[in-house]
Amino acid sequence: MMRSLYSGVAGLKTHQTKMDVIGNNIANVNTTAFKASSITFSELMSQTTQKASGPNGTTGVGGTNARQIGLGVKAGAINVNMTTQGASQSTGNPFDIMITGDAFFIVSNGSENFFTREGSFYVDGAGNLAMTSIGYNVMGWEVDFTQGLDSATIKQDTVKPLRIMSANNMTYPPEATTKGYVSGILDRNDSDVTSANGKVVNLNFFDNLGYSYTAKLTLKQSADVNEYSLELSGLLDSNGNPMDISEVEFGENMTQEKSVSIKPTEGYTWEGTSLKYGDETIATVTNELIEALEKREKEPEAMDEEYTVNGEKTTARKVIDSIAKVYGKEGATEEFLKLYMNDDNDNKVSVQDMLANLLSNDANVLKFPTGKEGFVADGRNYEGFTVNFDPNTGKFAGINKRITQTTVTAAMSALGGNFSDIEIDFSECSMFDNKGTSTVAATSGDADGIGAGRRLGDMIGVSIQNNGMIYASYDNGMTKLLGQIATAEFANVSGLEKKGDNLYSATMNSGDFDGIGTDITSNGGYMSTGQLEMSNVDLSSEFTEMITTQRGFQANSRIITVSDTLLEELTNLKR
């Protein structure tokens, strides 16, 4: 039999194998992250008919080369082009991720890890990041929350499924406000600042349960226009309802020197302890009134308890509001009661005390003036602080005349365990001419936003960074680190074994996976979201290879037909 027949057969088989490789490449021209293969040929073996001989120095005969007849061809190697990056395909899906570099995603079927360049992912029913095609879980690193949510870090340990949509991750917990700051211009010519009610600044804050509240801070100008009183004048809950602040400590008992003219509206006169308008009694100072006023800070309900005066039922709130209204303090009853006059011994006697003294028979005590001309108060009592400004520069100059003190504390924790004390910074305030308009305002948190507090946040989005870190964003303005997609790198990527479904597994020649993986950016790689890696099959090269393969197959078939013709001539020698 002729050896060329078998060489031709080997050639046909080998070119058929090459055609299989080419066909597979073309079939996967649109397969995500497919890596094209190529085949190289090597000769099968050779039959030696004569060994090589060396030169003979004695006889002078030269050496001869070996005589060998080749017996065909075989597939030498099938290589996968793993190092050529496929082009990018934009999808707009935030869970579609393309790797630039030599790394691989790590995915798991629950018992074994595989590796892939296909980054088409989605979130399954359990909240896990998984492959869209076969549902294998994407593996990565968990988050270390031991330092708190705001200081979370990635714990690079054995890779685990990334459960990014767990119930715990769907919301961001609330936090109580612990800091605030007041900034802007306090213009001393602002009518609000110079009025009896003062300039009110609202500070919005949260408790530990995420409920919002509004603290009303009031600034009032003193006789010294460079000094302003600061007090907590009110507190509103999330529905706008007033809250009791009698237990909230805010500063200390202070006095503010400022002359205030107190004059009754024309037509109103006092008769003993009764305030009248003509024959009509508007209000009467009684023991019940004074007792309710003394109780109101700790027992606010005492102001609304009914009692009888001259046969008619009334309450302390109605009576004292009526008196304050007559003296031009409608809506500012508390301010009215805290006004004081200096007696002959320079004692500061408040309006409340002077009203109480109307019931006293002691002629030496300072009583509420009942003349039509009214009186001039020397100042007022209040609980709070003073805010001072430098008269030369207009800049903030300290709290309670202490230039080094820049903050005040509102002891909101007295309201309950879900509240925290709030430290409020005034160092960014100034007292400049702003054409009679103050811009001073309060903001929760410090200048860097730390301690601002927050309500409960619902997840509104997920983003993946170029290093594989996954962050969730919430509607309370917060973000949370959910994990990091880990990657695997191999010393010989071409040594990976294909497992179908765009998966690879490690082999002895690729190098082992250590179970931990690497940060993709450690070797210059990165991830791009909203994109997928396309196949790196080059159709022009594949079609060219197909032509040469066809011709090679054709030539090998001719070897067989010619050899057959020779055998036919041989058999025809005998007829």
Q: For 204-228, write each residue's pLDDT tens digit.
A: 999 999 999 999 999 999 989 999 9
- Residue 33, pLDDT score: 93
Residue 192 scores a pLDDT above 70: yes
Residues 536/86, Cβ–Cβ less than 8 Å: yes
pLDDT band, residue 21 (cuts 50/70/90): very high
Residues 445/424, Cβ–Cβ less than 8 Å: no
| Nearest Cα to Cα of residue 356 among 368, 338, 339 | 368
Chain center to CA of 214: 24
**Alpha-carbon radius of gyration of the chain:** 46
Q: How far apart are CA 350 and CA 365, in angstroms?
A: 12
Residue 72 scores a pLDDT above 90: no
Write out pLDDT tens, residues 174-186. Answer: 999 999 999 999 9
Pick the CATH number of 174-257+382-455 from 2.160.10.10, 3.40.50.1950, 2.30.60.10, 2.60.98.20: 2.60.98.20
- Residue 136, pLDDT score: 96
Q: Which two tokens stand for residue 257?
A: 């020197």
Write out pLDDT tens, residues 229-250. Answer: 999 989 999 899 999 888 899 9
Q: How far apart are CA 159 and CA 514, in angstroms?
A: 10
What is the rounded average pLDDT of the residues 387-407? 95
Could you tell me the end-to-end alpha-carbon distance of the chain, in angstroms, rounded to an integer? Answer: 20
pLDDT band, residue 49 (cuts 50/70/90): confident
Residues 71/48, Cβ–Cβ less than 8 Å: no
- Residue 386, pLDDT score: 96
- Residue 526, pLDDT score: 96
CA distances from 522 to 45, 147, 153, 158 (A): 47, 25, 17, 18
The domains of the chain are located at 3-82+537-571, 88-173+476-533, 174-257+382-455, 264-373
Mention every residue, 6+ apart, whose C-beta is less than 8 A from residue 26: 537, 539, 542
Q: Which two tokens stand for residue 566?
A: 């020779």
What is the rounded average pLDDT of the residues 101-126? 95
- Residue 204, pLDDT score: 96
- Residue 1, pLDDT score: 54
The partner residues of 41 in beta bridges, in order of sequence, read: 75
Q: How far apart are CA 114 and CA 513, in angstroms?
A: 10
Chain center to CA of 230: 34
- Residue 475, pLDDT score: 94
What is the rounded average pLDDT of the residues 103-111? 95
What is the rounded average pLDDT of the residues 546-551? 94
What is the rounded average pLDDT of the residues 394-398? 96
| Nearest Cα to Cα of residue 440 among 184, 187, 181, 198 | 184
pLDDT mean across residues, the chain: 91
- Residue 3, pLDDT score: 80
CA distances from 350 to 133, 138, 233, 300 (A): 80, 73, 18, 20
Write out pLDDT tens, residues 442-496. Answer: 999 998 889 999 999 999 999 999 999 999 999 998 999 999 999 999 999 999 9
Collapsed DSSP state (helix, strand, coil) of residue 352: helix
Residue 376 scores a pLDDT above 80: yes
Q: Which comes out higher in pLDDT, residue 70 or 367?
A: 367
What is the rounded average pLDDT of the residues 122-150? 92
Mention every residue, 6+ apart, whose C-beta is less than 8 A from residue 218: 197, 198, 199, 200, 201, 229, 230, 231, 232, 233
Residues 180/433, Cβ–Cβ less than 8 Å: no
Residue 10 scores a pLDDT above 90: no
Q: Which comes out higher in pLDDT, residue 3 or 513?
A: 513
